[in-house]
Amino acid sequence: MDIRKFFAKRKLDDLESDKEGREESGHGEQEAEPSTSSSADPVTAPTECSNLDAPVNDIGLYMNSYKKLTDDLKCNLLVIHAYTPPENYDFKKDSSGPRFFPQPVHRGTQGAFITTPFTKYKDLHESARNHISTSWHKNAHADANQFLENRKKPETSIVCQIDSAVKRHVEENRIKLFPILSTIIFYGNHDIALCGKKSTSGNVQSLYQFRIEAGDVVLKNHLENAPINTRYTSVRVENELIALCEETLREDLVNLVNRSNGFSVIADESADISGKEQMSIGVRFVDTSSTVGVIKEEFLGFATLKEMNATSIANMIMDSCSKFGLNLEKLHGQGYDGCSLCCT
């Protein structure tokens, strides 16, 4: 874009001739003055304006409020209603301010044509040629063209492309995780241990190979082509997937319990393999999700016991029920397996 076509040398006129010229060209008293009050819309109203009789599509009116401009208004000013100054336009009254597409300052200072108005009209042609060859003008011109191109084709914008790439990457990872997650769920449903003596020779690894031999192309391509740190077959990832399954199953069970008319808590003391005292928490309720009510007993999780006394156990049970999300207003009963201490 050659910016010199917007400028023309003019002779010095007094104020009376300027006023007469504005009235003849239709930019005098008939033109509405832009609002400068604090209640005006910052997008459509300029913050500073020297030529109060200038039309609203004059870019100079919006120079100091470029951050508040909408994309529609930018497109309006750049293309649809691009402003051409009249012959009697007073360039000496131009306001200063940054452009719509300011460029970072790597070296030197941004002066005329950028942050300050150009007023040395005797050097206009030479200065304009020099400015056109600068990287600031070229980069700003490229940004403006890219902005207009994105307005015509929104799917070509970088934001849309990045968003589409992220969604596609997420969908691909979900497809790759499905055979791994379904294998873990299969072992959980059949009470089969996942790990063996080595992390590379457990039961789950054997089932992966069996699935590949049975024709699972997705799992085969994933294990053969994916880097080692993104195969999602390590013990740590398996434990994370098991924990996510636990949260999902418990959430579904709690929703069923809360939709019922009431439930009872069932607690039973047990010790894990390390000898740590813990208590299993379960619920007994009537499932009303079908037309015929069904009595169910479901396990919700384990809770570690800090002390073996009635107060500690009672607090642990209530805290666990609250943490699981159970509606305690529907708690109508409690049950224990041979633990007389809990009934006191």
In a domain, 248, yes or no: no
> Where is the domain boundary, 233, 264, 292?
233
pLDDT tens digits for range 10-69: 544 444 455 444 444 444 444 444 444 333 444 444 444 444 444 566 666 666 554 567
In a domain, 126, yes or no: yes
> Where is the domain boundary, 154, 182, 210?
154
pLDDT above 90 covers a percentage of the chain that reads 17
Q: Is pLDDT of 178 > 90?
A: yes
Tokens, residue 81? 């209603």
Kindly state whether residues 10 and 133 are assigned to the same domain: yes
Kindly state whether residues 147 and 43 are assigned to the same domain: yes
- Lowest mean pLDDT across 195-199, 232-236, 247-251: 195-199
Q: How many Cα atoms within 13 Å fall on the side-chain side of residue 98? A: 14
Kindly state whether residues 229 and 273 are assigned to the same domain: no
Kindly state whether residues 147 and 173 are assigned to the same domain: no
Confidence (pTM): 0.51
Kindly state whether residues 171 and 146 are assigned to the same domain: no
Kindly state whether residues 91 and 205 are assigned to the same domain: no
pLDDT tens digits for range 137-160: 788 878 888 777 777 777 666 767
Q: How many domains does the chain have?
A: 3
Q: Which residues pair with 294 in a beta bridge?
A: 287
Kindly state whether residues 13 and 131 are assigned to the same domain: yes
Kindly state whether residues 11 and 136 are assigned to the same domain: yes
333 burial level (CB within 10 Å; 0-12, 13-18, 19+): exposed
In a domain, 33, yes or no: yes
Domain span at residue 297? 253-343
Kindly state whether residues 143 and 162 are assigned to the same domain: no
The most confident of the ranges 179-188, 196-205, 302-311 is: 179-188
Q: What average pLDDT does the chain have?
A: 73
Higher pLDDT, 320 or 101: 320
pLDDT tens digits for range 237-274: 889 999 999 999 999 999 999 988 889 999 888 777 66
Buried b (16+ CB within 10 A) or exposed e, 83-104: eebeebbbbeebbebebbbbbe
Q: Specify the DSSP element, H or E, that contains 213.
A: helix 203-213
Kindly state whether residues 112 and 7 are assigned to the same domain: yes
Q: Is pLDDT of 97 > 60?
A: no
In a domain, 262, yes or no: yes
Which residue shows structure tokens 């200063």?
A: 96
